[in-house]
Chain A
Amino acid sequence: MILDSKIPEGALAEKWDKHKFNVKLVNPANKRKYDIIVVGTGLAGASAAATLGELGYNVKAFCFQDSPRRAHSIAAQGGINAAKNYQNDGDSIFRLFYDTIKGGDYRAREANVYRLAQVSVNIIDQCVAQGVPFAREYGGLLANRSFGGAQVSRTFYARGQTGQQLLLGAYSALNRQIAYGKVKMYPRTEMLDLVMVDGKARGIVVRNLITGKIESHSAHAVVLATGGYGNVFFLSTNAMGSNATAAWRAHKKGALFANPCFTQIHPTCIPVSGDYQSKLTLMSESLRNDGRVWVPKTVELAQRLRKGEIKINDIKEEDRDYYLERKYPAFGNLVPRDVASRNAKLVCDEGRGVGASGLAVFLDFADAIKREGQPAIAAKYGNLFEMYAKITDENPYESPMRIYPAVHYTMGGLWVDYNLMTNIPGLYATGECNFSDHGANRLGASALMQGLADGYFVIPYTIGDYLAQTPYAKVSTEHPAFKEAEQNVKAITDRLLSIKGNRTVDDFHKALGQIMWDYCGMARNAEGLQFAKQEIRKLRDEFWQNVKVTGVNEELNQTLEKAHRVADFLELGELMVDDALNRNESCGGHFREEYQTPENEALRDDENYAYVAAWEYTGPGNQAILHKEDLKFENVKLTQRSYK
């Protein structure tokens, strides 16, 4: 299989404009003859569904939540990047492109990332026009803050709730199209299979989560905007329902899965407090603008602190190690996420961690409060401080927060070309669901940018090019391909319900998460990964013999919903391990202990691994086949990433 990324010819800055001119168009009167399915209603899905409806296509949108407004984009806190250069601090489209490529440790496509930087400016205009209440200065113009991996202030925000405000903007645009009848919304409906006819994506099979009814929907194209797969780890900052099932089942139908080992471990989360824990809560990266990260200088001091023999304030200023500021004076506390996470792990592994478990570092606002006063800090981060206090019962205005890295985002995903189409004709993947823009590490405030770029400004153009070459004729859901996919879904469901074993779905999920975190988390090595692969296979075998799913299909059955998702995680987990084993280098979020510089920084191997690893499914339990898309860098020079 040859992977054609379909990157347009020409100079980097002209590719997208040229491509927009070259793509085929669908006449306005003919758009109503095409049906498009959009799965997922987060930033990428809601913006795509709304915009495609505005253009005149017939859209069917699906989400598993009770309302499209609940999608997990809503929880994004810090902000959204855009190369507006409103601050006159030297930002430009090229600089945003450069920062994103460098931040991704040179494992993303230049052309995609440049386009992302180009349309970023349109996103902010669009959101303001929708009534999104971004933060403003006293003069009435938009405010910006800075974020990790950048030396300019280009992040637009709405207190610590930027994702909520952007999603509600996209949701309002979606609602408008629902009211016009151009989008038909199916909430509480979960995609369980992709339907292909003559090698093209022509529909999906879904389960109605209220009645359990298995239904088919036919269309001319299918867009998956179903988010990432961070919940493979069980504990993550994802929502409880976030899952990989739609993407994974498309993978099993032939869509390649790219760079699955690229997962982002976010440095600032509230540490784990007990084995009952169901999820981890993020503390926005924006806090690193004002918070200073430190641990005690010596192991002995850290031990005494953990035992309660001394208090935080007993540790003198000279006995505190502000290790990020010390090691990376240029970026300080604002180094990219992978660097910050790895350093937190390093100091904790040295025995200098804090908190009862020793798996935490301090994020201290004392200096910022002294400098700006408590009201100013509250205005910037009030809701985050409240959230921290609610969860930990500690007041972060008085004592420093304790934080530790947690799984947050997945850069890998379905392989897509420049048009965001997978290798299956007519199947698209947008937002976190695809792999395309963040390389091996995503910079803060770039996820919202990518989701909305894909949905508002990329797919509305590129999908037209495909549809213009597709006949109007619809495929009936009575077609054998639909019936076969329905039978497949029913067979999996029946099997899950009939096992009646002794171990709960959550128990399997937690066991998988522990394997992934221990061996395919912040640091990986070949031996551990090989062990993890065997353990995952064992666990998966046990799952299919011993899982306990109560109830029946024909009802609201949350255990059955979870069982479907965990069954897929148990397969995806193995592919992540395979990918991590294959990539004999360290880059971004993928840190192989065998490949590091003397200063413990990631050691890339550009000669052998400057490629996208796209995996092909070959049947249950079989080894996936690797396909490579070589990455060509013509506009940036590959260097050892340095934030010193």
Chain B
Amino acid sequence: MDLTLKIWRQKDKNSAGQLVTYPLNGISPDMSFLEMLDVLNEELLVKGEEPVAFDHDCREGICGMCSLFINGRAHGPERGTTTCQLHMRHFKHGDTITIEPWRAAAFPVHKDLIVDRSAFDRIQQAGGYVSVNTGGVPDANEIPIPKTIADKAFDAATCIGCGACVAACKNASAMLFVSAKVSQLAMLPQGKVEAKTRVENMVAQMDVEGFGACSNTGACAAECPVGISLDNIAMMNREYLGAKASSENV
């Protein structure tokens, strides 16, 4: 099929960007979206033009590196799908496809479609862990965990850290991302010990990074490629209130 692509091109962090139009022909419906961009980039290279920079790595939907805003939607039109797992069969001949980077003040653009998501790492560094050193831990079966709890914790833990939730939110809030880690660890006996300080510190860092407030529209969960549930935000709010009610750092 033949397509018209409108792609955000931006030289670097300090330059202004713009949408540039590229016609692209002969695309197979079985291609992935990123393979379609590979084809475009090979064409540009042959012409001596600079290829479009975009983040990608595993191309299996698990590393969280790919991050495109396609026709106004994070990771494109298919629900529960990362850009790398989106296939061209979901588009049709003659379509115009607009491709932009994640748009959020806390995710500045490095180049073209590549953004800086290091704010996510800094939030995790603020408390997204259980404080145990290597060695000297109890036997893995010493503390039984009900299967239902383990499964719920697993569901929260599947967040791939791609940032689609931020990109989809009109306030560019990171609540879904932060709440996934907070609730995973709050549900498990290993994480409960530090639950209060964790939620306080991670929320504080989220605010420092400049993410917006949550207004409960649910766009984040609707666009999340791995189906992280809004319940996590409710749980985090509860954890946060509980922590603050008894906190020494009010």
Residues of A within 8 A of B (CB): 47, 50-51, 54, 65-70, 72, 74-75, 84, 86, 122, 124-142, 158-159, 161, 164-165, 168, 171-173, 175-176, 178-179, 185, 187, 210, 239-241, 273-274, 276-279, 281-282, 386-387, 390-391, 393, 456-457, 460, 504, 506-507, 548, 550-551, 555-556, 558-559
Cβ-neighbour of B133 out of A54, A67, A128, A278 (below 8 A): A54
Which listed segment binds A: B121-129, B211-219, B236-244?
A: B121-129
Cβ-neighbour of A274 out of B31, B57, B135 (below 8 A): B31
CB of B134 within 8 A of CB of A133, answer no
Which listed segment binds A: B38-46, B91-99, B165-173?
A: B38-46
Per-residue contact bits, chain B 66-108, to A (CB 8 Å; 1 contact, 0 not)? 0000000000000011000101010000000000000000000
Task: Enumerate chain A residues within 8 angstroms of B63, measured Cβ to Cβ.
Answer: 65, 70, 72, 74-75, 239
Q: Does B229 contact A (CB under 8 A)?
A: no
Also in contact, A175 and B38, with CB within 8 A (given A274-B28, A387-B60, A504-B45): no
Expressed in whole angstroms, the minimum distance between the Cβ of A303 and any Cβ of chain B is: 23
CB of B51 within 8 A of CB of A559, answer yes
CB of B50 within 8 A of CB of A122, answer no
CB of B134 within 8 A of CB of A390, answer no
Q: 9 tightest A-B contacts by CB?
A: A140-B144, A172-B129, A129-B137, A133-B154, A128-B140, A239-B57, A133-B153, A136-B150, A51-B134
Also in contact, A133 and B184, with CB within 8 A (given A276-B39, A281-B60, A556-B111): yes
Expressed in whole angstroms, the minimum distance between the Cβ of B190 and any Cβ of chain A is: 5
Task: Enumerate chain A residues within 8 angstroms of B158, measured Cβ to Cβ.
Answer: 161, 164
Task: Enumerate chain B residues within 8 angstroms of A548, measured Cβ to Cβ.
Answer: 45-46, 48
Expressed in whole angstroms, the minimum distance between the Cβ of A208 and any Cβ of chain B is: 11
CB of A75 within 8 A of CB of B141, answer no
CB of B111 within 8 A of CB of A393, answer no
Looking at chain B's contact residues, is the secondary structure mostly helix, strand, loop, or mixed?
loop
CB of A138 within 8 A of CB of B185, answer no
Also in contact, A74 and B58, with CB within 8 A (given A179-B126, A390-B87): yes
CB of A393 within 8 A of CB of B146, answer no
Counted as pairs of residues, one from A and one from B, with CB atoms less than 8 Å apart, the total is 213
CB of A135 within 8 A of CB of B85, answer no
Expressed in whole angstroms, the minimum distance between the Cβ of A234 and any Cβ of chain B is: 12
Measured between alpha carbons, how far is A74 from B61 in the docked complex, in Å? 10
CB of B161 within 8 A of CB of A550, answer no
Also in contact, A131 and B161, with CB within 8 A (given A86-B141, A556-B12): no
CB of A66 within 8 A of CB of B150, answer no
Also in contact, A131 and B191, with CB within 8 A (given A125-B138, A168-B157): yes
Q: Does B6 contact A (CB under 8 A)?
A: no
Also in contact, A139 and B144, with CB within 8 A (given A72-B57, A133-B150): yes
Measured between alpha carbons, how far is A450 from B33 in the docked complex, in Å? 34
